[in-house]
Homo-oligomer: A and B are copies of this chain.
């Protein structure tokens, strides 16, 4: 298959970058590990920069799709927020190496790639923003909420997962998602919406958890 070598290079680079950082890994190291040659690498990527971009793009594109789907699948902001968090946390199980590289090395993205990625990142943030805003306007979420800052708090706590999540750790990603959901809902919901029956009812396993079976 035409894509074979390309995929192999991405996978190899991903793991190496995760372990040693983008600057800690040379092209030579990547191609040796991937079982190809420098020429092979440059046949598929125009530069090391581009490889970094591709890694960023794979993940952010996926994350946006998931978040949109989660939002679309429910009607009330409460449920939407739940679904988005569950989905978002779940992405870390599948794409932890991508995310690690994404957050650790974003600074070194070439400007031309950075712009593309920045737009997608903004798009992702906007999805969460809209849901929190709607929840506040509908009267389900507390009226004191500063939406901008709350969105950054949510993004921060979830994003940080890449620093500590371990597939073989004590808690599964699903449990972590539930704990985070519980934490966030307590932080944003009005007291009257806080009885378990309301919000725990939709804790179905979302699609992408089962997607990774490979």
Minimal beta-carbon separation of A46 from chain B (angstroms): 13
In the complex, what residues of B have CB within 8 A of residue A159's CB?
156, 160
User: Which of A64-72, A73-81, A147-155 lies at the interface?
Assistant: A147-155
Are B146 and A156 in touch, CB under 8 angstroms?
A: no
A146 touches B179 (CB 8 A): yes
Cβ of A179 to closest chain B Cβ, rounded Å: 5
Write the chain B residue with the least CB distance to A153.
B157
Given A153-B179, A156-B160, A183-B187, 11 additional A-B pairs, CB 8 A: A23-B23, A24-B107, A146-B171, A150-B179, A153-B160, A156-B157, A157-B157, A159-B160, A160-B160, A186-B187, A187-B187
Number of identical protomers: 4
Inside 8 A of A152's CB, which chain B residues have their CB? 157, 160-161, 164
Q: Looking at the complex, which one of B160, B182, B191 makes contact with A144 (CB distance below 8 Å)?
A: B182
Taking the closest CB of chain B, its distance from the CB of A156, in whole angstroms, is: 3
User: Could you tell me the distance in whole angstroms from the C-beta of A142 to the nearest C-beta in chain B?
Assistant: 8
Please tell me if the beta carbons of A108 and B182 are within 8 angstroms of each other in the complex: no
Residue of B nearest to A194 (CB): B191
- Residue of A155, A156, A158, A194 with most partner-chain B CB within 10 A: A156
